[in-house]
Chains A and B, each alone.
Chain A
């Protein structure tokens, strides 16, 4: 049994924006406001399992949507469809770089689980020959706020017997406002010499500002480190270790001790993690069984929650349902497009017809990151509402979940004000199924997972590019908030300035053609052509595994 993909549902609701009342027109709000720029990310209820794959899968989706195959190596001198070389193009008069220049693509990230914040991606694809690896780099400069870089190297394609192929993936998101790395993800799969096993190592580092923009960058971080050993043509097993620093509470207010002083147990990477969770798992083609042990680090003086252990939970690999968590799941915005504060003290009436429950009417308390939706016990197999007693007795397969989802695009109003609600962090929940389905799977002892020092940061200077050559919004310009669906023909010169579009960063302005640092100032007028280069602190001298047993 499968369920409607929440992403599809979200898009459908997004399209039905008429929920917005006439007095609140979201289209009138500047495009640089948070209501437009806050990221939607498709998350998972079993985040501790999925983080080994989610960033890579999002990256694969983004690159698949980039049109790279038309521009590999790079085919910028020829029309991507006809492959016709411009008649006046003379390779003798151009540098070799002309075959390696990057191009701009406007990519529908919404389809990849991210929102419509579609700043152009700078894409560069290269493969020396048919037997060599495919390299694809993408860069995404999100105005002056952040820079994202991604590198994907396909050495061996995936196959039915080896779903991991031999692939390297690195992604870095750096916040320039805080001068801090916000997100880092790596995946590396490698086949052994005997061609019998493939080992997949993954790491990701998450700054909590991505989930809660009201918490300063760098304060709360989580790291996920995993290893999977997959028998080629067979099953697999592995370990995922997750660390959380500063995660006593999501609220910044609680990050002080009783004297009001900041907590001193420290932050990544020097501080002591509040929680370490070790999950061991085994899987076949259809099911995955895991056991998970979550505990405080013995030396942490602040975390007092009891050790939480899950033994042998069996998940379906292709059956899921979705929900939006009330806390950190939504973005709530005022009429200016700004997020409301987390302690807004605003409560508004809302009513909704809930399947299996009936009409719910009540007050929703608004915060910038959520709505206080009541929780009920649900069957984790399909999300159906069940008796709260089942959750109270910790019966297998039942958990508390929000009673309902507030639809994306809902406007909550009182007599004077309107507030716009977006679903920013919807979550997929893979179904918990009868344990007998996993009876043939044997969980292996914990495996040492990769250390954070194995991060490979994508720090390359963004290569120059010209006009938008590929635009997934070409037929849906209303969703292309920045480029309005436009796409240029590479080997034409739209503004007649003598610079072909694929080299022209200002294809409609004959007086301008270059902006190599992507700051919006044409290079001839730019007194400082300098890219905002991410300066990651790699913490290569820090060993996160020394201080505690995991």
Chain B
């Protein structure tokens, strides 16, 4: 069962008539005339950031024609709708701190279209993305680039995090703030990933360390005016 995303107070019952410009109905009232789908529902939604599901739309067709769903509108590229089920979701979970909508105001606007193949109904909606009290992570290295056979210290701080785990080769549970020293004897790129959670959400941060190889100066076989090889 899909989650009911009715968080917003505004409830508007809307009856949307079918598009009549493309009138396939026999003006003389033939019994073979086609009626457009009817799409009725809320037009104002709100969801928390970091989630993808918005709601499921259900249109009806007087002729019992099969209905397919699609979307258009200014922010439609950020969402998708199941053409058969009418389930509207964000392609990527919206981030309140990093809005992607056209106005960058965390209000996403799309049009829902229900079609019976000939006639269609359209419902314009808006989706408000709510800010939640999610964890934040600050992750730093004491030196961004080191040479082999050296150590570097990873330090981190968080806000609103209850638990944190550090992943580097293996995943370790760590305090929500602290530091850890690592010793590197081999060159390469190394990624440290910190994931912190609270009851509501989680946050992930990464930092990359480049370990360059020390070029050891070569010792000559010998330094001599004479060759004994």
Contact = CB atoms under 8 A, between A and B. Distances in A.
Interface in B18-58: none
Interface string B179-191: 0111101100000
A200 B217 CA distance: 19
Contacts of A136: 219
Contacts of B218: 154, 157-158
Nearest to A87: B170
A154 B220 CA distance: 9
A317 B226 contact: yes
Contacts of B185: 75, 77-78, 83, 85
B152 to A, nearest CB: 10
A165 interface: yes
Interface in A30-67: 49-50, 53, 56-57, 60-61, 63-64
Contacts of A61: 221-222
Bin the interface of chain B by size. 20 to 34
A167 B161 CA distance: 56
Contacts of A167: 220, 223
A133 interface: yes
B98 interface: no
B227 interface: yes
B227 A317 contact: yes
B207 interface: no
A158 B226 contact: no
Nearest to A133: B217
Nearest to A288: B225
Contacts of A152: 219
B224 interface: yes
Nearest to A167: B223
Interface string B183-207: 1011000000000000000000000
Given A5-B228, A75-B185, A78-B185, A157 B220 contact: yes
A69 B216 CA distance: 8
Interface string A159-184: 00001110100000000000000000
A127 B219 contact: no
A99 B223 contact: no
B111 interface: no
Contacts of B224: 50, 53, 57
A72 interface: yes
Interface string A416-431: 0000000000001010
A92 interface: yes
Contacts of A189: 223
Interface in A212-260: 228
A73 B183 contact: no
Given A64-B221, A78-B185, A50 B216 contact: no
B10 interface: no
B149 A72 contact: yes
B147 interface: yes
A57 B223 CA distance: 6
B215 interface: yes
A165 B223 CA distance: 9
B223 A163 contact: yes
A509 interface: no
A136 B216 CA distance: 11
Contacts of A394: none
A129 interface: yes
A73 B228 contact: no
A537 interface: no
Contacts of A85: 183, 185
Given A60-B220, A78-B185, A99 B149 contact: yes
Given A61-B222, A72-B149, A157-B218, 12 more contacts: A53-B223, A61-B221, A77-B185, A78-B185, A127-B217, A129-B214, A136-B219, A158-B218, A163-B220, A164-B223, A283-B225, A428-B228
21 contacts: A53-B226, A57-B223, A60-B220, A60-B222, A72-B149, A72-B214, A73-B149, A78-B183, A85-B183, A85-B185, A99-B183, A127-B217, A130-B213, A134-B216, A158-B223, A163-B223, A187-B223, A189-B223, A228-B225, A288-B226, A317-B226
Interface of A: 5, 49-50, 53, 56-57, 60-61, 63-64, 69, 72-75, 77-78, 83, 85, 89, 91-92, 99, 127, 129-130, 133-134, 136, 152, 154, 157-158, 163-165, 167, 187, 189, 200, 228, 283, 288, 315, 317-318, 320, 428, 430
